[in-house]
Structure 1
Amino acid sequence: MALPRRASWRSLLPLVLLTVGAAYALSSWNWCGPWAERAPVLLSQARGEGALRAGAAKVALSPPFPVVVAGYAPPRPEASESDPPPHARAVVLEAGGTRIGLVSLELLSVTDVVVGRVRERALALGLQDVLVMATHTHSSLGGYDARLVAQLVGTGRFREESLEAISSAASAALEQATSALTDVTLELGEAKEASFVYTRSGGTAPDGVLTRAVLRGADAPVAELLFYAAHPTMVPRQRAAVDPDYPGRLSALRESEGSGVTLLLQGAVGNASVAFQGQGLERVSAFARALSELAGKAPLAPVSGAVKLSLARAEAAMPRPDASRLVPSFTRAAGDNLLCGSAERVAEVSALVLGPLELVTVPGEPTVDAGAELVRRTGASGVLGLVGGYVGYVESPALVRDGAGESRRQYFGPVLLDRLGAAAELAANTAGFTR
């Protein structure tokens, strides 16, 4: 004879409590293990100086539709089209026998696997090294990051087809850019509009500076590099189409006006948001037009004589993941374990020299304050984020200790910036920063 329903649930209650308790105890066990602490290690270096050559190309990313739209926590829309299409853009630089590639992908982030595949395929092109970076677009295709935390909070279920589509487009753009190498001159300019951006979380506010580097051929610009910092989160979150946000629209607009292949490279974007007014997709297009006009206002100064070109990459040992600011205190251990399962134990930091430009790159989202600390330590003229992988937000140690700024989104403890900074110093010294 069956027990009454109430009695059945009462009989099961101890088992349920025991199961929940066991799961909590198991998840709270220290599954992270030891995390090595060591000095940064130099990974590679390439240096040259002489007459500058450059080639550039863009290739449309071809998502394996239907694909998840990356950028935010679930629920995420699924896209069956691109509107407008995202691209992989590449610039190859050559001076004094040294050949270096820059690849910009209109994605939320890049992974170590993407970077590794692109570099492997670049060897046959005679490139000494390649930097691969993301525009940090929050409305592009996902599915390319196999890490559990990334799948949960940003990129959606991993699919090998997405990873291969991205790697193939990046490699094709590099190959076409290499084939198009030609003599160029370098011109640099800068313009500023502070009202375009604001700090969303405290800390030092972004300054709204846009730096422009033009690689000019005999008849027209071959390529244009635009260095800027503002989160591409302007496209509505539930739009069921892959969309490159303002970086893609800005690049396409500049290219249509004869500026050559245009790469938007994110700077200290961690706490930088767009303040431009408007609604919907028209706001995105209007901001792209405003940025294009700002770029046109940047007075260009030619770089005379031989151009110095160098790239050095260094590896930093990452600190242990720290979920104390991300989850309630009673789930801290479980949060640490979840992060440990997806966190990289090493991270790549680079130093790039192109004439007077001396740039430090980090694989995450440095805030304005974190960027300023990297500049102070290396003498860099600027900092690029979202390059060579993704380790999350990078905030200043003071704000991490106070639980302020972007620290509530930082996956690692207060020493993260110091670890990256030490690697940046090694890379900068190797690349020949003038300080």
Structure 2
Amino acid sequence: MATRRRSLRSLLPFALLTAGAAYALASWNWCGRWEESAPVLRGQVKAEGPLRAGAAKVAMVPPFPIVVAGYPPPRPEASQANPPLHARAIVLQAGEARVGLVSLELLLVTAPMVEQIRAAASDLGLHGVLVFASHTHSSFGGYDARVVSQLVGTGRYREDSVGVIVSAASQALHQAAAALGEVSLEVGEASDAGFVYSRTGGEAPDGALTRAVFRGAAGPVAELLFFSAHPTLVPRQREYVDPDYPGRLSELREAQGGVVLVLQGAVGNASVAFNEGQGVERAAGFAQALSGLVDKAAPTATPGPTRLALARAEVALPRPDASRLVPSLTRAAGDNFLCYSAARTAEVSALALGPLELLTVPGEPTMGAGLVLARRSGATRVLGLASDYLGYVETPELVAQAAGESKRQYYGPALLERLSGAAQVASAAAGFTPQP
């Protein structure tokens, strides 16, 4: 026994030296310097004329068995979908401008996935394709190669998972383009703050819902619903993938005709407040109640011709910042870990559609951040979870206080300012009406 103790004592200095070397190595600035540059316009189109639209939805069948994304480990593995998951698309055309919108019943989308979808639709003559995630926390994973994402939310990366998503999105876009026909645009709004609440403080969500209906001669062709609330109603430990309330709401509304895309607004600090039912019944009940709010958003026709514009701006992002996410002693190591997965640039897009001026960002802006982005760009609505996923976007004031959703923001306090700069460039190119 004494000999063993002496042996362990002799190993102690080596262990301490090894631990110290590992700490120093992890704390080295592996991130390097992140260059700051002005936002750059990457594409734009602007036209006016009679509006045409086509829409389609395609089943998105995961390569079972597949991990259920949305939460940290341990994660269940799904063997089937109940109800089914879908990719939905709408193609819009006015004059010479033609753009596509895709909604995927996923936790998030990635920039490589979006580029593959755009490449698959390159034969359709589209001037741009915007891809959104419904943000359901009960869909399948495996499509994000970033280490942080694999650990925190989406599980082990699988090429076949990406292939399923790209194929479904491409089919939906092609079917939508083939169905193009003349439509009128109708827009309505309603709100009920009782549907949502702020889980972390900050600007309180208002429960606002915007509805855009594309109506053809035979009835609705498509409908866009903009609403802000986390789809986390389906129980976490469940051996099925599930579209949560956005998928159920789409199915409910599609019974009346057309294809319905549910897109998330400034959602970072908005959670649901619907407490009726248990399990999946709660998601179904929320969708049913929210459908009633959609009915209250009675749409009115907008006079033609319709303007359609899309502009995309790229901006350099600030350096990742783990100071609010990890203990202070591991701050440098946390920064390095985030840098390994973090994007260095982001795409912000501005879409003008009749009276709607929509700004899209690749993350989850809180209500406060959404108000800043709207004010800086003139947007009537800010949409998140588009084109990529950067994490949360909080106001610099709350980031400095480590308050609000800043503990889930991967980048430094300059993130909102950088995105706002890109928003101004994109919105100006799309012809947004400046706010006073």
- TM-score normalized by structure 2? 0.98
The reply to whether residue 333 of structure 1 matches residue 318 of structure 2 is no
Counterpart residue number, 2:348: 349
Separation (CA, whole Å) in 2 of partners of 1:242 and 1:360: 30
CA RMSD of superposed structures (Å):
1.1
Separation (CA, whole Å) in 1 of partners of 2:414 and 2:348: 15
Q: How does 1:353-364 map to 2 (within 5 A)?
A: 353-364=352-363
Q: Specify which of 261, 265, 268 is matched with residue 266 of structure 2.
A: 268
Counterpart residue number, 1:321: 320
Runs of 4 or more, structure 1, over 4 Å off, are: 2-5
Counterpart residue number, 2:211: 212
The reply to whether residue 286 of structure 1 matches residue 260 of structure 2 is no
Q: Aligned partner of 2:304: which letter?
A: G
Separation (CA, whole Å) in 2 of partners of 1:234 and 1:389: 23
Q: Deviations over 1:264-310 (max 9, x none)?
A: 00000000000011221111000000111110111211011200001
- How far residue 46 of structure 1 moved from its aligned partner, in angstroms, is 1.2
Q: Aligned partner of 1:324: which letter?
A: S
Counterpart residue number, 1:156: 155
Counterpart residue number, 2:139: 140
Separation (CA, whole Å) in 1 of partners of 2:232 and 2:332: 32
Q: How does 1:45-124 map to 2 (within 5 A)?
A: 45-124=44-123
Separation (CA, whole Å) in 2 of partners of 1:32 and 1:419: 19
Q: How does 1:4-83 map to 2 (within 5 A)?
A: 4-83=3-82
Q: Deviations over 1:294-350 (max 9, x none)?
A: 101112110112000010000010000000000000000000000000000000000
Counterpart residue number, 1:183: 182
Counterpart residue number, 1:168: 167
Unpaired stretches in structure 1, ≥5 consecutive residues: none
Separation (CA, whole Å) in 1 of partners of 2:2 and 2:220: 82
Separation (CA, whole Å) in 2 of partners of 1:7 and 1:71: 49
SS of the equivalent of 1:189 reads strand
SS of the equivalent of 1:430 reads helix
Aligned length: 433
- How far residue 256 of structure 1 moved from its aligned partner, in angstroms, is 1.6
SS of the equivalent of 2:426 reads helix
Separation (CA, whole Å) in 2 of partners of 1:257 and 1:185: 17
Separation (CA, whole Å) in 1 of partners of 2:279 and 2:126: 41
- Matched-pair identity in %: 67
Separation (CA, whole Å) in 2 of partners of 1:138 and 1:201: 19
Separation (CA, whole Å) in 1 of partners of 2:190 and 2:376: 25
- How far residue 24 of structure 1 moved from its aligned partner, in angstroms, is 0.8
Separation (CA, whole Å) in 1 of partners of 2:297 and 2:330: 50
Q: Deviations over 1:5-35 (max 9, x none)?
A: 4444333333322222111111000000110
Separation (CA, whole Å) in 1 of partners of 2:97 and 2:299: 25
1:8–1:240 distance in 2 versus 1, CA, 3 Å: farther
Q: Deviations over 1:88-142 (max 9, x none)?
A: 0000000002110000001010000111001111110111110001011111010
Separation (CA, whole Å) in 1 of partners of 2:271 and 2:3: 58
Separation (CA, whole Å) in 2 of partners of 1:221 and 1:334: 53
Q: Aligned partner of 2:260: which letter?
A: T
Q: Aligned partner of 2:169: which letter?
A: A
The reply to whether residue 247 of structure 1 matches residue 250 of structure 2 is no
The reply to whether residue 306 of structure 1 matches residue 274 of structure 2 is no
Separation (CA, whole Å) in 2 of partners of 1:265 and 1:5: 64
Q: Aligned partner of 2:418: which letter?
A: R
SS of the equivalent of 2:106 reads coil
Separation (CA, whole Å) in 1 of partners of 2:122 and 2:410: 33
Separation (CA, whole Å) in 2 of partners of 1:40 and 1:347: 10
- How far residue 220 of structure 1 moved from its aligned partner, in angstroms, is 0.9
- TM-score normalized by structure 1? 0.98
SS of the equivalent of 2:121 reads helix
